[in-house]
Amino acid sequence: GAGVSQSPSNKVTEKGKDVELRCDPISGHTALYWYRQSLGQGLEFLIYFQGNSAPDKSGLPSDRFSAERTGGSVSTLTIQRTQQEDSAVYLCASSPAGGQGLSGANVLTFGAGSRLTVL
């Protein structure tokens, strides 16, 4: 697609339920990132994919969080047994490659985000 697409745009769930957030990156982009932005906070790195593998999962806050990417394209972020502190905007970004190139900065293109509210 023309841009990074995320769904749902808004999700309200009850504490303890599982949620899945989906990201459709720009076609051909091999690198995919998940970030989250809690109220009043900056963008917090969660996980990085290069192709289908995730060489860096260091930002996932707990083992309730997991993510996968299939076919080098769509990614799903799953949060199990949601807690109120999971409430945030979850942002997905993609880029042509995972590292900086000779041509300049490897720019991330972000989706509009999925706003998660846990009651």
In the complex, the residues that contact another protein under the rule CB under 8 A are 4, 31, 33, 35, 40-45, 48, 50, 56, 91, 93, 98-100, 104-113
Give min distance, CB of 64 to another protein, in A: 23
Closer residue to another protein in complex, CB, 1/40: 40
| Choice between 74 and 96, CB closer to another protein | 96
Question: At its nearest, how many Å lie between another protein and the CB of residue 39?
Answer: 12
Q: Which is nearer to another protein, 19 or 23 (CB)?
A: 23
Q: Where would I find the beta strands (DSSP E) of the chain?
A: 5-7, 10-13, 19-24, 31-37, 43-50, 53-56, 65-69, 75-79, 88-95, 109-110, 114-118
Residues in CB range of 104: below 8 A, 6 or more apart: none
